[in-house]
Structure 1
Amino acid sequence: MDYMELRLWIGMHSCIQCFILVATDASYIIKYMTRFTEEGFSSLISFIFISDAIKKMAGSFSYYPINTDFQPDFITAYKCECVAPDTMASMLFGVVVPVLDNTSALFGMNITALDWSQLSKKECLKYGGQLVGSSCKFVPDLALMSFILFFGTYSMTVSLKKFKFSRYFPTKMRKLVSDFSIFMSIMTFVGLDMLMGLKTPKLIVPTEFKPTRPDRGWIVMPFGKNPWWVYLASFVPALLVTILIFMDQQISAVIVNRKENKLKKGCGYHLDLFWVGVLMAACSFTGLPWYVAATVISIAHIDSLKMESESNAPGEQPQFLGVREQRLTGIIVFVLTGVSIFLAPILQFIPMPVLYGVFLYMGVASLGGIQFWDRIKLFLMPAKHQPDYAYLRHVPLRRVHLFTLLQVVCLAVLWILKSTFLAIIFPSWSGFTDFFFFFNS
């Protein structure tokens, strides 16, 4: 069964289902999406960002292990040599290998004629040699340097983001530094990486604008590779895809349109879902990833457009005035995203640990505006030191903790569903919790 053709039909069925939802005004059911569901869904996505960033960073310590038993007095014992394979086997099979890549000769040479002691690790393994020595499996510098880049990028971004609340420099300069905190952190640690000269893992960017798989073109053909019944049966997985896309799109829209953001312009839930359906069909025919609103990026976009009062009493926090509602920043962001394919020679200098640090910051920063996270922190605060939240004035603290604990349990269940073979029922569970807690609230 051909996967791309099956994916195309799932996308087409999902597109039609989105159009049906738009035609029947089904977006009206987002009124059942309570704060419980919004916070659980957005928290899950934030934790995915945080978890993936930490997992990727931890993986570098496995790929570049550190010799924790290193003893400076026995430094002469730490060595790694490339040893030739069994010469009898090479003579028996007549193994002939090309010369090294750094030479310009085009002839081959017998494997027994190689100077194995002068080969690099990659060349040694390529030609069938063996690495012998107590230090062959350890690469201490790269793991530690990767951690410095990872944690340094995150820490610097957090510090610069808070710089606008400091007492140094004029207000506009502090705000400028805060707005470009991520860019400044990336440039700083890319420069540090280049200065140190270590071969840390870098961002891999394709240099050509073409499909990833060489065996297909830009258009996926809808017929010819799968049985006819697949075109009809794909309706079932498409239904699960539609549920997930509908909830992801509409919950992100609900979070953006919260009254706390003080938006003045109206929302467009039906129009947004219509264009999501159009893009589902277009992306299915071209084999591109399906397009939907990203919760973490949407929250970050709102935060970057917030307006605050400039004239405050000494020591008083700025007052939130609203959000600059316009389309220019969104258009520019996605235009620059498309232009980035031509920046491959520059982007390939960015170390992956730096990007992991940015992802960690995005996940942590998006938790800052979620009431669920504020209520979790109340577990560790004595009552006399708790902030003056409005809900604490009207709801007993015990019920607040019970509600928060229930959210934590549901979030844990969602995480387990996402991380196991049961992930296919994740959309159904999300919808179930939505309606269950609405009718029991």
Structure 2
Amino acid sequence: PLIPMSPCPCGPMPPVPKPLCPHAPPHPHAPMSPCPHAPMSLGWGDTALCPPAPTGSARPPGEKTKGMMGVSELLISTCVQCVLFSLLSAQPLLVVGFSGPLLVFEEAFYSFCTGNGMEYIVGRVWIGFWLILLVLVVVACEGSFLVRYLSRYTQEIFSFLISLIFIYETFSKLVTIFKDHPLKRHYNVQATAKPDVPEPNTALLSLVLMAGTFFLAFFLRKFKNSAFLPGRVRRLIGDFGVPISIFIMALVDFFIKDTYTQKLNVPKGLEVTNASARGWFINPMGKNYTFPIWMMFASVVPALLVFILIFLETQITT
């Protein structure tokens, strides 16, 4: 006869945890199968970092700083810092790039420097020096523990601020386009010369491209929870809805040849945006005239503000 087993004195056996990745091996020493999430994460990181760098929300950074810090500089700096951050910080999926609050800071600091007769790009160099020092001190003191004092309310407020800046800059740029190319019922031009008047189709096409990008990205995001197509395909389309919508609207703008739309001012090759005003290497003492000594030390104040922005972005909003 079968003898019933007595219950284990140590209690019931704990359940075996399931692997986080469905493609993970059942045993730690078993051969690892290729996981499709790695290339997807790489593609998502590229699409998340590349568009903000050249565009700077809705207005190009070179437009805010008169070409002192444009598309080439931001793309190269974003590439270098992301490579170093991924290799040394053990957090390769953390997004570190140009964002709306940094764009507002650059505009404010450029206005301050030009209003006081100082070179903006030299002041930006000293802000970078102080920023390196602040980051080293905070890392040495393990300052990341300060995140425990930040509530979910703080995170939502800062995320809302970033989104609000992007939305404001988008509509501000659209209003500027409508002012430069107003819609009128009649234009007074001469038929004997080439008309030099605003093009109303430019404003209308800019509005269509902006609205089309938003609504297409919105509906592709909602498509993830629909009942069409297999689940993996829906998730793939939903996760990459924003770059897909940008690509489609860029193609629409490319094939419309008879209407002018503003494009990014990107130099050919590895060149700075405004080669007549600056080079790749900046003299910390000043290029055209000597940079004030007191401003070299006072740059710690804007550097502290930039550090707070970067700290909040990387710690609570990413």
Shorter-chain TM band: 0.5 to 0.7
Residues 157 and 182 in structure 1, CA contact (< 8 A), matched pair in contact too: yes
Counterpart residue number, 1:253: 314
The superposition leaves residues 103-127 of structure 1 with CA deviations (integer Å, 9 ceiling, x where unpaired) of: xxxxxxxxxxxxxx443235xxxxx
Counterpart residue number, 1:188: 248
- State how far apart, in whole Å, the 1-side matches of 2:168 and 2:286 are: 41
- State how far apart, in whole Å, the 1-side matches of 2:312 and 2:119 are: 33
The 1:162/1:63 distance shift into structure 2, 3 A limit, reads same
**Residues 6-25 of structure 1 mapped to structure 2, 5 A cutoff:** 6-25=123-142
- State how far apart, in whole Å, the 2-side matches of 1:233 and 1:140 are: 46
Q: 1:37 is aligned with what amino acid?
A: T
The superposition leaves residues 288-346 of structure 1 with CA deviations (integer Å, 9 ceiling, x where unpaired) of: xxxxxxx5xx4xxxxxxxxxxxxxxxxxxxxxxxxxxxxxxxxxxxxxxxxxxxxxxxx
Counterpart residue number, 1:87: none
Q: Given the two structures, how large is their TM-score scaled by the length of structure 1?
A: 0.40
Q: Given the two structures, how large is their TM-score scaled by the length of structure 2?
A: 0.54
Shift of 1:239: 2.9
Q: 2:166 is aligned with what amino acid?
A: F
Residues 10 and 235 in structure 1, CA contact (< 8 A), matched pair in contact too: no
Shift of 1:233: 4.3
Q: Paired residue for 2:162, among 31, 41, 45?
A: 45
Find the structure with the greater CA-based Rg.
1
Secondary structure of 1:81's aligned partner: coil
Counterpart residue number, 2:195: 121
- State how far apart, in whole Å, the 2-side matches of 1:193 and 1:17 are: 44
Residues 6 and 234 in structure 1, CA contact (< 8 A), matched pair in contact too: yes
Counterpart residue number, 1:58: 175
- State how far apart, in whole Å, the 2-side matches of 1:233 and 1:187 are: 44
Question: Aligned-pair RMSD on alpha carbons?
Answer: 2.7
- State how far apart, in whole Å, the 2-side matches of 1:191 and 1:208 are: 23
**Residues 214-293 of structure 1 mapped to structure 2, 5 A cutoff:** 214-223=276-285, 230-231=292-293, 233-242=295-304, 244-255=305-316
Point out where structure 1 has 5 or more consecutive residues left out of the alignment: 71-77, 83-116, 123-135, 256-294, 299-441
- State how far apart, in whole Å, the 2-side matches of 1:239 and 1:206 are: 33
Compare the two structures and name the one with the higher strand fraction. Answer: 1
Shift of 1:15: 2.0
- State how far apart, in whole Å, the 2-side matches of 1:179 and 1:160 are: 8
Q: Paired residue for 1:26, among 143, 146, 154?
A: 143
Shift of 1:63: 1.5
Report how many aligned residue pairs link the two structures: 198
The superposition leaves residues 150-183 of structure 1 with CA deviations (integer Å, 9 ceiling, x where unpaired) of: 1111101110111121111111222222233223
Report whether the alignment pairs 1:203 with 2:264. Answer: yes
The 1:63/1:12 distance shift into structure 2, 3 A limit, reads same
Counterpart residue number, 1:36: 153
Report which stretch shifted further, 167-176 or 1-10.
Answer: 1-10
Secondary structure of 1:164's aligned partner: helix
Q: 2:268 is aligned with what amino acid?
A: T
Counterpart residue number, 1:145: 205
- State how far apart, in whole Å, the 2-side matches of 1:200 and 1:9 are: 37
The percentage of aligned residue pairs carrying the same residue is 30
- State how far apart, in whole Å, the 2-side matches of 1:36 and 1:47 are: 16
Residues 121 and 282 in structure 2, CA contact (< 8 A), matched pair in contact too: yes
Counterpart residue number, 1:174: 234
The 1:231/1:13 distance shift into structure 2, 3 A limit, reads farther
Residues 131 and 307 in structure 2, CA contact (< 8 A), matched pair in contact too: no
**Deviant stretches of 4+, over 4 Å:** 224-228
- State how far apart, in whole Å, the 1-side matches of 2:144 and 2:297 are: 21
Secondary structure of 1:121's aligned partner: coil
- State how far apart, in whole Å, the 2-side matches of 1:48 and 1:249 are: 16
The superposition leaves residues 339-393 of structure 1 with CA deviations (integer Å, 9 ceiling, x where unpaired) of: xxxxxxxxxxxxxxxxxxxxxxxxxxxxxxxxxxxxxxxxxxxxxxxxxxxxxxx
Shift of 1:224: 6.3
The 1:118/1:207 distance shift into structure 2, 3 A limit, reads farther
The 1:201/1:234 distance shift into structure 2, 3 A limit, reads same
Secondary structure of 2:299's aligned partner: helix
- State how far apart, in whole Å, the 2-side matches of 1:79 and 1:36 are: 53
- State how far apart, in whole Å, the 2-side matches of 1:210 and 1:190 are: 24
- State how far apart, in whole Å, the 2-side matches of 1:238 and 1:151 are: 41
The 1:162/1:29 distance shift into structure 2, 3 A limit, reads same
**Residues 90-105 of structure 1 mapped to structure 2, 5 A cutoff:** none
The superposition leaves residues 182-203 of structure 1 with CA deviations (integer Å, 9 ceiling, x where unpaired) of: 2332233233334443222233
The 1:227/1:61 distance shift into structure 2, 3 A limit, reads closer
Report whether the alignment pairs 1:163 with 2:280. Answer: no
- State how far apart, in whole Å, the 2-side matches of 1:31 and 1:216 are: 42
Shift of 1:206: 1.9
Instruction: Identify which of structures 1 and 2 has the higher relative contact order when contacts are C-alpha pairs closer than 8 Å and 6+ apart.
Output: 1
**Residues 300-379 of structure 1 mapped to structure 2, 5 A cutoff:** none
- State how far apart, in whole Å, the 2-side matches of 1:224 and 1:169 are: 60
- State how far apart, in whole Å, the 2-side matches of 1:141 and 1:227 are: 47
- State how far apart, in whole Å, the 1-side matches of 2:240 and 2:299 are: 42
Secondary structure of 1:6's aligned partner: helix
- State how far apart, in whole Å, the 2-side matches of 1:66 and 1:194 are: 23
